[in-house]
Amino acid sequence: MDIRTDLSTRQAPLKWVIVVDQELAAGRAANAAACMAAAVGKARPELLGPDAKDGSGEVHPGLPWAGCSVLAAPAGALAAIRAKAAARADVLVVDMPEQAQSSRVYDEYLGQIAGTAAEEFGYLAVSLVGPRNRVDRLVGGLSLFR
């Protein structure tokens, strides 16, 4: 990956988006975005820029140098976006299935996922990281989540 901390996020060769069900309540959308961001950070730690030191010498942890747009889509479109992105070897896909917010016990969540066929999944959000032109083709026309 071409790390370019000297470019605007609109010029960066890499694009990161989170696409959220447009009907999701703000708190649930924020939860989905935060949880997926943690998973993206684990999978692609090079997305984080270097720590920043302020004028007083205090350190602020590095943030994603490519930025991250949070977009909205109808619930029914999320599975299609995920499927198209997953078919691309150069796009990282992190998803938030409905089961993730219906359980407070992680082992229970794992059991629910294991017992659900792929075609039966409903998604609250999906996160995509990949080459700008490929990600743009997958989410073109979507507006910011409001």
Tens-place pLDDT, residues 7-20:
888 888 899 999 99
Residue 119: its pLDDT value, please? 87
pLDDT value of residue 7: 87
Q: Global pTM?
A: 0.92
pLDDT value of position 77: 96
User: If DSSP codes are grouped into helix, strand and coil, which group holds residue 143?
Assistant: strand
Token pair for 83: 């499927």
Q: Which parts of the chain sit beneath pLDDT 70?
A: 1
